[in-house]
Amino acid sequence: MMTFSGVLMNIPAELYESAEMDGAGPVRRFISITLPYMFFVTAPATITTFVTNFNNFNVIYLLTAGGPFSLDYYQAGKTDLLVTWLYKLTVNRNDYSLASTIGIFIFMLVGSCSLLVYNRTGAVKKEDQFQ
């Protein structure tokens, strides 16, 4: 909430005044001025939150340790994430080949999603336009 408040306070008032003089209504000003500023600032925070939630090892491992165990999946419990399953494969089962494959898959998935979101928001291209 503090981030959004800070972003809203840093949007120059001249932009809103010139948009109003050009005949833009409140909805148009919000879409054309406020949202681009919000996306520019919150895109890196959104990416960081996504990566953190995707690799949320602590909660799963401390609460359930990936259990209850299931015979339907290869050494994975019913509440395992890819990260906790990777940990179990390396520490408990010494299955490094499958664990490295899962690690590469996690990297490709998180990396490609992060790059996609970062490029779609235009934070790289429009960096010089924001104050």
- 90 and 73, same structural domain? yes
Give CA angle at 114 (38, 103), nearest 5°: 150
- 42 and 68, same structural domain? no
Phi, psi angles (nearest 5°) of residue 34: -70, -50
- 69 and 41, same structural domain? no
In our burial notation (b when 16+ CB lie closer than 10 A, e otherwise), range 83-93 reads bbbbbbbbeee
- 113 and 61, same structural domain? yes
- 61 and 18, same structural domain? no
Number of domains in the chain: 2
- 12 and 35, same structural domain? yes
3: domain range? 1-46
Residue 32 pLDDT exceeds 60: yes
Q: In terms of Cα–Cα distance, which of 95, 61, 53 is closest to 79?
A: 61
- 38 and 62, same structural domain? no
Segment 33-86, tens digit of pLDDT: 888 888 777 777 777 787 777 777 777 777 777 677 776 667 777 778 788 888
Average per-residue pLDDT for the chain: 79
- 77 and 124, same structural domain? yes
**Which pLDDT score, from 0 to 100, does residue 130 have?**
55
Q: Is 17 helix (H, G, I), strand (E, B) or coil?
A: helix
Enter the tokens of residue 64.
């359930």
Q: Is residue 108 very low, low, confident or very high in pLDDT (cuts 50, 70, 90)?
A: very high
